[in-house]
Every structure is written in C-alpha cells, then in structure tokens.
Chain A
C-alpha cells in the first residue's frame, strides 16, 4: 500500500471531541422544548414541570445504565420489565415489615439474582439472548403473580422518600457514578467493550468471555433493582404483570441505552443516557400536554424507539442483519 502520512492528532481536537456530543444533545433538548412550548404554552415547559420531567427520566436512566453493559456486547435483555415488576412488588412487601432497610436491600438483591439467573441460563443454553430473556420474562411475570395473588401492592407513604427530591436524585446520581466508575476504572469496563468489539479476538487475548457476559447480566440486574426502588417510590403501587405486559417497561430504558451507544464515541455514554432519557420524558409529557390521549403514549414509544435506533445505526453495505 502507498506510503501514509503519520497521522497527527492535535490535542485540541480532543477537547472538542469530548464535549461535542454533549453540546449536540443539549441542542436537541432545546429544540424539543421549543417545539412543545409552542404547541402547548400553558401546559408544558415551566420550571417546576421540567423538574418533574427530570424525575421520571432519572428512573429510566438508571435502568438504561444497566442495559448499557448488555447492549455494548451486542446482547439484549428483554426481562428487565418483568424484573422491575417483581423487584418492586417484593420491595413493597418487605418495606411493610422492615421499612427502608427492606425497601432498599430487597429489590437490589432480587434484581441482581434475576440478572445472575439470566446470565447463567443464557450461557448454559447457547441460544440468543433476546430469546432467552423473553422466555425468562414469562417466568418472572408468573412469579410476580404468585407473590401478590393478584392484589395490587401499595407502598406506604412513610416509605416513599425516594419518590421525590432530593433522595431520588441522590440515589440516581450514585448509580450513574457507579456505572461510570465501572466502565472507566475496572477490568469489567474494558472487557465489556472488548467482547462487544470482537468476541473471537477477545477470547484469544485471554478474556474469559462467558464469565464477563454473566457479569454484564448481573450488573444489569443490579441497576434494574435500583431502578425498582425509584419506580415503586415514585409510583407508590405496583400490580403483577402477565401476558408479557411487562414488555412495555423495557422500552424507555432501552431508548436511553441507545443514546448511550450512539454517543459512546464522544466519550461520555452515561451523560448521553441521562440527557437522552430527559429528552424522551419531555416528548412523552409534551404529547400529554397537547391533549393526546394516553393510548397515544404507546404509539409514541414505539415510533420513538424506532426512530432513535434508525438514526443511531448506520446501514453498512453487505453486512448481514437478521
């Protein structure tokens, strides 16, 4: 091949690279805000409303962080919805007896165990992760019905501190910080990216692929457990799910994850997930503000994820996509 010039990478590029992604996202926030503000000036966009949009987006962002580990590797986890349902229900049950200790510990343990089970079943059965997790979601849903005997579980207001500021913000920030720490400062982060880049080569380089895939599922389950704390505290009640109705809960966190994946090259995936969820929260609330019926919510969700994935993935010629 012909002689190549040595590639000069000036240091100034790095700064712009780092923050370009964030700038783009913030721009998007402003644009979306402007659109809905014009369409529904009275109902949308005031400061206190924005704070409430932020609240709900934090919840999904935590889930999005967990899913990030999975999606970077090219895997999928469709059981997180069922995970949230089951963990939230158990949180209610144990909070009644043990107060905050139960509220915090139980969903985290439950979520993590579900993640562990997902990982182990996936590795042992040798079938695609999306199929495995759909099957397991059915199982977790049925467990949730068993746990509640069909009755709605309510979290007493005395235990709802994580449903409002500042507790929910603090918990969410802890989760984000932890995710960023794991990605940047542990082997888990490096190996997760390595496996996502080229599993075969990574294995040759001594990365224990199966082990780290299970780790990713465990981490995902853990963060979904944290998300459950926030979910139940915010919503104060939870009913068991069946017939894959929990699938709906998979979408919003997944959207945030895709933001994170798309903006990964700018170096700040977690920030992208959070801002991404905020944008989505604004869009949902925007539709409500302009008077769209609640059923339209699902249409918007489906269309939004479709759009986000379309925009964030580039079609490469000749590649095999199933």
Chain B
C-alpha cells in the first residue's frame, strides 16, 4: 500500500484480556517494581520452604560469596542485551581468562588482573568483529566462539587443571570481593545513567536505524560494548580464580545461560531497548541465586533444579518480553 503500514491499535473500550495485560506491562512502573516484588516473593517462599534455613546469616554470606562473579559478568551482558544482541560465550570467556590469570598470578597480581581483562576484551573483540563487520547474528557468532574457546580450555587443561599461585586464596574474603563487585556495579551504573552510553544503547536496542539517523555511531558502539563486556568478564574471572584457585575443563560451564536467566528474572526484556533498567542486573542475579540455592537446599536433584529453572525461564521471558516493539518475531 502507498501509505505507511499502520499498526492497528484497538480503540474500543472493551479490550481483550490480552490487550489489558499488555497495557499493564507497558507501564514503566510495572517493569521496575514487578521484579523486586518477585525477588521478595522468592525470598519469602524459600524461607518458608527451607524452614528458615536460607535466611540464616551463614547461608546468606555463602550465597553472596557465590554471587559476585555472576553479578560482575552480568553487568557486561546487560550492556550487550540492552542493544538487543546476545552473548553466549561468557562462560568459555571466563574460563580462558581464568587460565591467563592463573598463569600470570605467579608473576604479579595486577598483571594477572590486567591479563584477564585483556583476554576477555580480545574474545569480545572477536565476537564484535563478526557481528559488526560481517553482519552475522550475535547468537550464532557467540555460540561458535563459546564452543571454540571451550575446546581451547579443555585442551589447555587436558592433563591437569591450571593452578594459580598457591596463596591466591588469601584474597578470598568477603570484604575484597564485595568491594570489587560494588565498584564494578557502581562504575557501570554511573556510566549507564550519567553519560550518553545508556541512551545510546537503549536507542540501538529500540530502533537501530533510527539511532543511526540520530547520529549514534552504531557499529563502533557495538564493537566497543562487546570488548567492554569481555573485559568486565575478564575481571569477573579474577574473582573466580580467587575463590577456586584453579581452572578445569568445565570452569564457567553454563554461566552464559545463568546470566541470561538471571537478567530475565530481573525483568530485562529479551530484545533490550528503552525499557531496560540497571536494577534488572542486581535484582535478577539475586533472584536467580536465591532460586537455585533454595532448590538445592530443598534437596532437589540437579536434574530437577534444571527442569524448574528451564520452566521458570520460559515463563518469565514471556512475561517481560516487550511485545510492542517486536513486530515480526523470528
């Protein structure tokens, strides 16, 4: 037709349930508040189901100690997903970066941290290159690099795990880890909210062509974000090495899926865009960690946990999906 392909918006008063539901979900308040409500419900639920065990101080600090790595890596993926892209290579990236950190830790700690971040950034650059220059969809590119680097990690740990310097464990304290995590969170939050980074990423996710015509350097931004996310994950690898002290062939396994589930639980729309909020990261990771720890505490087998997580994942993605902005879903 010669005129614009108008989106049909229902104008009558008696809207269907589906339309009312979508209107409710479209309110910005909903997306901010609902995940927090979800978090509180989950805490309450598991507090009851585990007979109060989960909220005991010991368990809380244990839970937190397992959260830092995920929280840090999730901020990087948050930036990527705001643009509407994906990254399935985070776990393998963490593994390789951890290997580099372990190796360099015998020389000097700052060097090790730097090495980890550079490694992560390099892998991120590879991801970004194929996405931006060759215009290949990010999920294909990152699934390939995930597999590739997983294989590399397996090769490097064939005979034995890679060990860091023996006394690395001395840094495994809550103070250090919590501080580092808080710094990363704060840094990314400040960048996202108080510089044009946040608006640019949201615009790219909401309408890439429109973003380009508004003067945003889309290609450069995508590449830089992938590199940045890689560096952030490289930093998360440092936390990993501090805690575990070594790297095996399965290090970081499934981390990308955990991050994805966490962000979705936090209310992040799967296609990114203007409705994302930084709180998606914090609320999401906490919710996910409590969910998975709670399931363990309740004595579920690992396969039962996976089943429940899979079902919850699908349900929550559907709830928080930004229907209005996705016209054709593939």
Any A–B CB pair closer than 8 Å: yes
User: Which residue of chain A has the shortest Cβ distance to B137 in the bound complex?
Assistant: A321
**B136–A309 contact, CB under 8 A?**
yes
Taking CB atoms, residues of chain A closer than 8 Å to B194 are: none
Taking CB atoms, residues of chain B closer than 8 Å to A41 are: none
* Interface size range of chain B in the complex: 35 or more
Taking CB atoms, residues of chain A closer than 8 Å to B260 are: 134
| Cα of A134 to Cα of B146 in the assembled complex, Å | 15
Asked if B317 is at the interface of the complex by the 8 Å CB criterion, the answer is yes
**B314–A135 contact, CB under 8 A?**
yes
Of the candidates A135, A141, A244, A309, the one whose C-beta lies within 8 Å of that of B140 is A309
With most chain A CB atoms within 10 A of its CB, the pick from B135, B151, B313, B326 is B151
**A135–B137 contact, CB under 8 A?**
no
| Cα of A18 to Cα of B7 in the assembled complex, Å | 42
Asked if A166 is at the interface of the complex by the 8 Å CB criterion, the answer is no
**A126–B314 contact, CB under 8 A?**
no
**B317–A242 contact, CB under 8 A?**
no
A126 to chain B, nearest CB (A): 6
| Cα of A269 to Cα of B226 in the assembled complex, Å | 35
| Cα of A318 to Cα of B208 in the assembled complex, Å | 10
| Cα of A141 to Cα of B260 in the assembled complex, Å | 18
| A125-B314, A138-B310 as given contacts; A303 in contact with B144, CB under 8 Å | yes
**B84–A295 contact, CB under 8 A?**
no
**B136–A322 contact, CB under 8 A?**
no
* Interface size range of chain A in the complex: 35 or more
Give a binary string over A303-322; 1 marks a CB under 8 Å from any B CB, 0 the rest: 10110011001011011111
**A142–B314 contact, CB under 8 A?**
no
| Cα of A74 to Cα of B329 in the assembled complex, Å | 10
User: Which residue of chain A has the shortest Cβ distance to B81 in the bound complex?
Assistant: A322
| Stretch of B103-111, B152-160, B231-239 contacting A (4+ beta carbons < 8 Å) | B152-160
Taking CB atoms, residues of chain B closer than 8 Å to A300 are: 151
Asked if B303 is at the interface of the complex by the 8 Å CB criterion, the answer is yes
**A296–B151 contact, CB under 8 A?**
yes
Of the candidates B131, B151, B152, B329, the one whose C-beta lies within 8 Å of that of A321 is B131
Asked if A31 is at the interface of the complex by the 8 Å CB criterion, the answer is no
| Cα of A293 to Cα of B149 in the assembled complex, Å | 15
**B302–A306 contact, CB under 8 A?**
no
Asked if A113 is at the interface of the complex by the 8 Å CB criterion, the answer is no
User: Which residue of chain B has the shortest Cβ distance to A240 in the bound complex?
Assistant: B303
**A138–B307 contact, CB under 8 A?**
yes
A214 to chain B, nearest CB (A): 14
Chain A interface (Cβ < 8 Å from any Cβ of B): 73-76, 121, 125-132, 134-139, 141-143, 145-146, 199-200, 240, 242-244, 247-248, 251, 293, 295-303, 305-306, 309-310, 313, 315-316, 318-322
Given contact pairs A129-B329, A135-B313, a sample of 19 additional A-B residue pairs in the complex whose CB atoms are under 8 Å apart: A125-B314, A126-B318, A127-B270, A138-B309, A139-B306, A199-B328, A244-B254, A244-B257, A298-B151, A299-B155, A301-B147, A301-B148, A302-B150, A305-B140, A310-B134, A320-B209, A321-B135, A322-B84, A322-B271
Chain B interface (Cβ < 8 Å from any Cβ of A): 5, 83-86, 130-131, 133-141, 143-152, 154-155, 158, 208-209, 249, 253-254, 257, 260, 270-271, 301-304, 306-307, 309-311, 313-314, 317-318, 321, 323, 326, 328-330
List 7 A-B pairs, minimum CB-CB distance, nearest first.
A298-B151, A302-B148, A138-B310, A145-B303, A302-B147, A142-B307, A299-B151
The 22 sampled A-B contact pairs (Cβ below 8 Å) are: A73-B330, A76-B139, A127-B321, A128-B330, A129-B330, A134-B260, A142-B304, A142-B307, A242-B302, A243-B254, A247-B143, A295-B249, A297-B151, A302-B145, A302-B147, A306-B141, A306-B145, A306-B148, A315-B134, A315-B135, A322-B84, A322-B85
